[in-house]
Structures are given as C-alpha cells and as structure tokens.
Structure 1
C-alpha cells in the first residue's frame, strides 16, 4: 500500500509544475488579457490629444463601429473564435473611451475666456487655486545680464476679471510665472511657501502656451506676474495639505544638519522635494540615468508596503512577514491599512503625475496581498494604466508616466527571467536580482530616455545597481524622520542623520559615475533615434545570450566597455587626437563662442571666457586634465561655475 508521502510525491509530479499543485504561490503563464485594452486606451489618448477635434471624433466612431462589427457575428458562437472577437471588441471600446476622454479634455483647453485673452496678451485679474508645489526656475544669462529669480507653479483658474470689468467663472489649468524685481537677490518672497489648494488673487498678463505646455501636461494660458511682494491669499490650504506641508517642512528641518549632498537629496528621495537639489548634482543624476530617484516612484511606496505586509509572495501564507502579522492584523485589515497608507502617501507627496504613478504601483502590491501570485501583478499594472489614462489623459504623453510603466513592466516580466538565468550560471541570488532589475529597466527605458535627454548613459546599470542597495534604508529612515518630526524633533534629527549615510552614498555614486569621461554618449533625441536604440538593444540581448557561454568573449566585451567608459588618454588620443600631447593652447567650444585654455603647469591652466553654461567648459577642462585655474579672464560677462576645477 502506498504511503502518504508517496501519494503526495505522485500528486506533485503529476501536477507538471515546478512548485507542485498545492503551492499557493504557484506561478502560471502571465495573464495578458488586460494588456491590449490598456495599450489601446493609452495610444488613442496620446493621439487624440494632438489631433484636430474632427479627426478625434472620427477615430472614436470608427473604434465603436469596429467593436459593433466584432460583437454582432459573435452572438451564438462559442469557443476560442467567439472569445477572440469579444477581446478585440473590448480593446476597441477601450480605445474609443481613451480617445473620447482625451478629445474632451483637449477641447476644454480652448473654452472659456482665457485662451482668447491670452492670444491678445491681455492684463486680467485671476483667482486661482494652486495645484502643485512652487519651484524656482534657474536664472538664465542673456548677454551681460542675468534674469531675475522666477517662481513657477501650476494652478487652476477659477474666476477671470477682464479690464472692462467682465467676470467669468472657469476651471482651466494655467501655469503661473512670478518674476521678482531685478534688484532682488533671489526669488520673490512668500511664493515658495504656498501649498496646494491655496487660493490666490493675481494681477497678471496672459500669454499663450508654447510647446503644448510644460511637463507634457497642456495648459490653457500662462500667467506672468511681476511683483516684488508676497502673494495675495484669499483662502488658505485644506487641512490635509496643511498637515502634509508641515510634515515636509519638518523633514527639511531635520535634515538641515546633514552634509551638502545628503541635505539636498534626502527630501527628494523621500517625498520628491527637489527644492534643495543644486544644478551640478541634478546634472550628475541625469548623466548616470538616476534621475528617477529624485522623483517619487513606485519603489518608495513599495518599500513602505513591504515593511507593512512583507514580501507579496508570502501575503497569503501563515508565515507572512512584515509589521502587520506582528501587530495581529488580519489579511483584510492589512489590505485596508495598505490602502490608507497609499492615500496618505499621495497626500504627503502631492497628487502630481509621478505620485499617481507611485500610487498605482503601490496598489499593485496591495492586489498581491490577496493573491500572493506574481501573475496577478501584470494585469493589475494594465488595469492601473487603463484607469489612470481615463482619469487624466494628459498622462498618456507624460514622459515620467511612460518611464514608470515601462520600468514596472520590465521588473515584472523581463527581470525575473534574467535573474533566473544569472542564478543558473552561478551568480549569488541577491546580486543576480539587483543586476537583472537594473539591466531590464535600463534596456526598456533607455530609448525613451534618449528622446528626452538626447544621450545614452554607459554607467546607468552599475550606478543604479549600487544605488538599489542604499535606497531602501534611506527611504525607511527618511519616512521615519518625516513622521516623528512634529512629535519629537531630536529623534527626527537622529533618524535623518542615519538616513544621511545611505543618501550621501547615493549622491556619491551619481557624481562618481557622471565624472567618468565616457559616462554618456550623444544620441539623436527623436523617436527615430529611440527606435534605432531599441533595435540595437534587442540585438545586443540576442548576442549576449550566446556570449554568456564563452567566458573569454564576455571578458573581452567587459574590457571594451570599461575602456569606452574610462577612455584612457594613451589609448584614445591616437583615435581622436584629443587631448593633444604637450598642448599649450586649447580652444573649447562652449556653445556661445569659445573658451581658451593656456597651459600653466602640471594640471593648471589660465582660462579665458567660459560660456553661459558650466557643463561644456567643465567637460573640456576635465578632458585636458586641468584641475586648477589660477587665473580666469572674462572678456564679457557670464556666470560660469567650475565643478571639477578650483
């Protein structure tokens, strides 16, 4: 008679699956049914936002007609053919919904008094409600003058009073530019302290929007305010926004005593507050393709949810981890707590597009609480994309939204397979997961980044892989400082000091990666360039699958990549002729004129002019090996900043 153990083994073998028949985390094939409707709605919304009204309506009608044609013959049919027709019809209906909602939102921008008045550059009095955090626009150099500090904020116009006294109620998104006086040393006083939902009364000059609005989200008009005084507040912020503002301010105060980079980066890493990020640190994160760390992402919320519920794969198991089981919380209570945590996260970090993306990614983790299956995450991502695009169709053209969805999708589909392949070749598990995650996200997102930044980073994978081990402790300790700041400021300062160590290390990684001579290469900033890069990436992946079997070829490729990044002068000079050996005078192209470098000893040079932007002259001097500038001669006024020389 067979034993119980033998029966269980036989059932396990008969299941034909690696984890057996009874394993609650058993992963089956990915459920892709929601992916085509989500992509259809996304694509239709992106096209409808830039199409004429008549074309958008025609496209919606054609999608509905196609759905009807698919459904009518399917009546009375069963099987795969009828199910396929239903799936196509559902995809077309979602495309019609996405295109229709986007067309309606685009039409709203041309209604009301603002668009016509903006075309006439009229002076009006406007009551607005602030919808985003104010930020300072970097001053620009024009000839011998530097523009005054300007504050930019997004708002919604509620009431418009024209010069003839006509008052019109409206609800139009606008961009407010507040320019200080020429004598002011910084931005206008009081404007940077404004919180979302605050209502203001502005006397402004209207301007038509350019390039479809900032940040990929269109606006009805630009309000230019010239004032030397504080804003006129008619209604203060709501209680949730006031509490959120106090928490954010408390985190900034708790991090005041940290070193420069950590002080600037910690609020940005935790709640997306980039007001302290200097230009050179921002440029370093851009060069290393680590800019996603300066904006709130799904990773921030996922870290907090994992702290609460433990790894999603153990959510339905008795040995699930996290704080929830230790507090005696049931599975349903844990899901509710996770939803409330997500809501609080959105309020504190502001309901901007990047925060909405983070909330959607966090809700994916909450869905995993009830299933514990990886295959449930991809449909949840597709559903989140579909709902967000229908809620706010401007997200369909937002680069941050595109990158967030692509990165999350790569982590759910590509990264697990690459991680498993690396483990099979002897790589430790944690290292394989980190490398696979960084490589998958970079491979999928690089074409879009090339369109946005016109460059390809060669140090993105190692920099992001190293930073991955530091982001989690920095985020957890930073949020702990955020919560405790109003209650116990000394404890918040201690937590901020602890968070400052990994945060400073993340900044050091970005600066080190960006300082390498071959950190980035120029690439066509167009969709044609993106398609070319995507094709090259796919070819590289196919070649890499064959190369991994030959260790010597892998080592040779690694050496070539290291040489491309490090660019040692003895090897590069014969190919490029730069930097010239024994140079005495070098001319650097700085975009507006030239900068001259006269050799003045080992690692030193006298510099004549520097151009309006620091990056170009700094890159040239670094290539020449210049680390000291004993004398700087300016033949006309610019405001250069040397980062790697003194």
Structure 2
C-alpha cells in the first residue's frame, strides 16, 4: 500500500473522490502496426508485382535504418545524464520497429497470395468460352434482371480447381483461384459443392478478390455434393425458411436474415426502410451476431460453474458452429473474429487491453487475406468493434450509475457505432440516418430473442416440429417488431438528411463525431474506472 497524494493546490478537495478510481490506460501500442499492415495490404493487392517488390525492399531498408538509429538513441539516452527517460525511447523504438516488421511480413505474405491468384491462364482466356470445375465458396446474391421480363440473375463465388477450353484446340489445366459466377437465379448450387459449368470468361481488374467473372446461362452440374456437416447446416437454413413461411410479411422476410444472414426474402421497400433507419446490420452476418452467441454461451457456462478453460473451449465451439451454419466465407470469418474481440471488451472486464486484441486480430486477418483491406464491410466491422472497445464501454461505465448497466449498454453501443461508422457510411450514400440511434435502441430488446429463438427453432425442427413452431412464432414476433421500428423510423419526417458528398462530408462528420465523444467523455473524468488515458 502506498500513501495517497494530497490534492493539487487550487483544486477542490473533493476532486479525487469524484473522479473515482484511477483510470485504466488504454493500450494503443499495436495501432501503428495495424495501420502499417492495412497500408501494406492495400498496396500489395493493387500495385503491380514489381512495384510491390520495390516497396517491400524499401520497407525492409527502412526497418534496418530505423532500428539501428533507435538502438543508437537508446544507448545514448542511457549514457548521457539528463531528464530523458530511456524507457520512453524503448517504447517508441519497439512500436516503430514492430510496425515495419508487420508491414514487411504483410507484404511478403500478400505477394505470395497475389502471385497464386494471377498464376493461372486467366489473361490468355479472357473473353473465351471455358468450362470450369470448382468448389462453391460464396452464397448467392440476387441481381435485378438486365431488362424487363428477363430471367432473374444471381451472383455467387467459387474457387476453381480445373479450367478447360472449349475451342478448336481444347485444353485442360489445373488452376486454383477465386472466380465470380453470374447466372440464372433458379440454378444456384449448394454451398461447398463441387460443380461443373460453362460460360464466357471476363477478366477482373487487379485489386479485386476474384480473378475473373464467368457469365453463364447453362445449367450447373453438381459433381460432388457438400460434405455431411455442410448438409446439416443447409438443413437448418432450409428449416428457417419453412418455419418463416406462415409468419406475417415482415417477420417472414426477417427471420432467416436475423438468424442465418439469408436476406433473399427481404423485399425492396423493407430493405429501404432498414437502410433509412440504420438497422440494416441486423440482417447481415456481423460481429453482433457472434457477440450475442458468445455472450449467451459465456453466461450459460458460468451458470454451470464450468472452469475458465472449459468456458473458453465452449465459446470457441459455439462460434465455430455459427460460422459453419452461416457459411465460412471471408466476411463471416471476419465477423466472427470481430465479435470475439467485442465480447472480450464488454464481458471479460479487460476494456483497456481490448484495443490491443483488436489490432492483433486485424493484423492476422490482413496477413491471411489482404483483400479485406479494400472491403467496406471489413472497414465498418473494424470501426464498429473499435467503437465498442474505445467508446461504448466507457460510456456504459459513465451512464450506468444513473441508468443501470443494461440500459446504459443498450444506449452506448448504437451511439458509439453511429459516431465511428458514420463517416464511412456517407461514402456509400451521402445521407444521414437521423433516427438511427433511437431506432437501434428500440429494436435492441428484440434482437436477442429473434436470433436465439430463431436459431433454436431451426435446430430442433427435425426432431420436434411443434416446439420449433412455437419458438419460430415468438422469434417472428420479435422480427415483426424490428420491421415495425424500421418502417416507422423510415417514415418519420426527415428520416434521411442529405449530407455533404466526398471527402468534405467525411471530414465534417468525422470531426462532429469527435466533438460528440469529447462532450460525452470529458478528459480526466470517469465513472467507475472508465478509460481516460492511453499507453503509447
């Protein structure tokens, strides 16, 4: 125990007691590495191979130069007398060297992946009729018909295994690369099946995840059915549609979306209402879905008094089952990782360390999949998680003394998400969802029962259809409430306000968000130990 320090002269004597316990210092030491990895990933997938190699060499030389310079400064700071703190030099040296190491590693890993993507015969076959054999790796997205009365089209992803040409000199070549397929919506193969199809190949520009797009109007031949675990997951997804069929209109459309991310039944007017009210994220597989599943798993494991390691194993198992159910596409894996970081921040009592976990998770994802750096969904997911760990948790702590923690968290999460994600959303649509925060607050109580009971209904439907029907109707009532909130908010006066387009609009909204955070979280004032400082 150390003696307490008296208040600073001139300060009111109750300042110390009003400020609460010492504020935890938020660990931001890995954020320079996050920025370096992100920049390296963007460069490596968009620049030509020679340019990427030269940039990687420059980064490596900078690493050696900065490392040597900082080591010299560290030795000099230790040898010379003065007020300088060698430990401060150590911290900055470590952060700078680590950022350069991460950038070099990200570029090296990304260069190998880009080279593998471009190594096939795609440039030579651009515009030709080809036959592809590959594994389905992406869910279908319905596209509007190209002209009135035309058959409905769908777009889905596959990873090729074999490429065959069908011209005068047919050839067959093994080639593994992601390809986008656009074809009839009535002939979409199941996820993870091996298929054979024929069409015309169109090359995609550098920077896209898919190396080419196959335009086809022929039938898709399923060569090998999905593995058993995927067939089980597909059965649950089909059960969600069967259980949703007798529900009212909005509930019928939203139940598969809220539970397994299947938005094929959401019509255009409901989609517009969800967008105008800021509730679109509820029907997409996002980190919030995985956070909810992980949270409930942690609570259930705690009620069963399971040891800490067993709880961690159960949470990982539940998350893996959720990934399998909604299909392990890159966006789903990203959402699962972000959801785990969010759960750590909100449930495990380590908000000060959560930014470091977020930065490490993002770096790992970018090393494994550098194309994520250019996807708006990934940007929004990272920003939303950062909002939870940096803004929502301190707001929850600050407001919980007056509102109680459950209500404070319900209000803090949409406020944080709107503040940090708003500048990116206006890049897509230069408008501002006026009622997004109150709409999210009103819809929040329905999200958990809609998701959990809806998933439970789909799982038990093959064994106990009456129980599944009851669960589906309760989940459907929650989905109806979400749709009603969306429609009322979207129909209110001024639901969407036009915003400044381009960089100016992004800058103004970002600066406004910083001002809001500054007003809501005054520096040096915390309630109950919220985070007020940083560790650099």
Q: 1:529 to 1:140 in 2, by over 3 A?
A: farther
Match of 1:355 in 2: 332
- Note the 1:346-385 alignment, pairs <5 A: 346-364=323-341, 372-385=349-362
Q: Structure 1 unaligned runs (5+)? A: 1-9, 180-186, 310-321, 547-646
Residue 415 (str. 1) matches residue 389 (str. 2):
no
- Note the 1:109-508 alignment, pairs <5 A: 109-118=117-126, 121-141=127-147, 145-162=148-165, 163=167, 164-179=169-184, 187-188=185-186, 191-192=187-188, 194-209=189-204, 217-227=208-218, 230-309=219-298, 322-364=299-341, 372-422=349-399, 426-427=402-403, 429-508=405-484
Aligned residues: 499
Q: 2:502 & 2:50 partners in 1: Cα distance? A: 28
Q: Bigger relative contact order, structure 1 or 2, given CA contacts below 8 A and separation 6+? A: 2
Match of 1:55 in 2: 51
Q: Structure 2 unaligned runs (5+)? A: 6-15, 76-85, 523-536
Match of 2:78 in 1: none
User: TM-score with structure 2 length normalisation?
Assistant: 0.86
Match of 1:588 in 2: none
Q: 1:204 & 1:484 partners in 2: Cα distance? A: 41
The answer to whether the 8 A contact 1:27-1:373 is kept is: no
Corresponding residue SS for 1:79: helix
Residue 40 (str. 1) matches residue 55 (str. 2):
no
Q: 1:219 & 1:525 partners in 2: Cα distance? A: 29
Q: 1:374 to 1:89 in 2, by over 3 A?
A: same
Residue 105 (str. 1) matches residue 113 (str. 2):
yes
The answer to whether the 8 A contact 1:45-1:101 is kept is: no
The answer to whether the 8 A contact 2:196-2:221 is kept is: yes
The answer to whether the 8 A contact 1:305-1:365 is kept is: no
Q: 2:273 & 2:216 partners in 1: Cα distance? A: 33
Q: 1:438 to 1:366 in 2, by over 3 A?
A: closer
Displacement of 1:238: 1.5
Match of 2:103 in 1: 95
Q: 1:205 to 1:285 in 2, by over 3 A?
A: same
Q: 1:61 to 1:327 in 2, by over 3 A?
A: same
Deviations 1:91-119 (A, max 9, x none): 1111222233334433444321123212x
The answer to whether the 8 A contact 2:130-2:198 is kept is: yes
Corresponding residue SS for 1:219: coil
Deviations 1:571-600 (A, max 9, x none): xxxxxxxxxxxxxxxxxxxxxxxxxxxxxx
The answer to whether the 8 A contact 1:137-1:150 is kept is: yes
Match of 1:565 in 2: none
Corresponding residue SS for 2:353: helix
Displacement of 1:295: 0.7
Point out the more displaced range, 444-453 or 67-76. Answer: 67-76
The answer to whether the 8 A contact 1:458-1:520 is kept is: yes
Match of 2:90 in 1: 82
Say which structure is richer in helix. Answer: 2
Displacement of 1:225: 0.9
The answer to whether the 8 A contact 1:66-1:89 is kept is: no
Q: 1:470 to 1:287 in 2, by over 3 A?
A: same
Displacement of 1:522: 2.8
The answer to whether the 8 A contact 1:139-1:149 is kept is: yes
The answer to whether the 8 A contact 2:27-2:352 is kept is: yes
Q: 1:79 to 1:86 in 2, by over 3 A?
A: same
Corresponding residue SS for 1:222: strand
Displacement of 1:463: 1.0
The answer to whether the 8 A contact 1:60-1:99 is kept is: yes
Point out the more displaced range, 483-492 or 441-450. Answer: 483-492
Corresponding residue SS for 1:218: coil
Q: 1:471 to 1:39 in 2, by over 3 A?
A: same
User: TM-score with structure 1 length normalisation?
Assistant: 0.72
Q: 1:303 & 1:83 partners in 2: Cα distance? A: 36
Q: 1:11 to 1:20 in 2, by over 3 A?
A: farther
Displacement of 1:285: 1.2
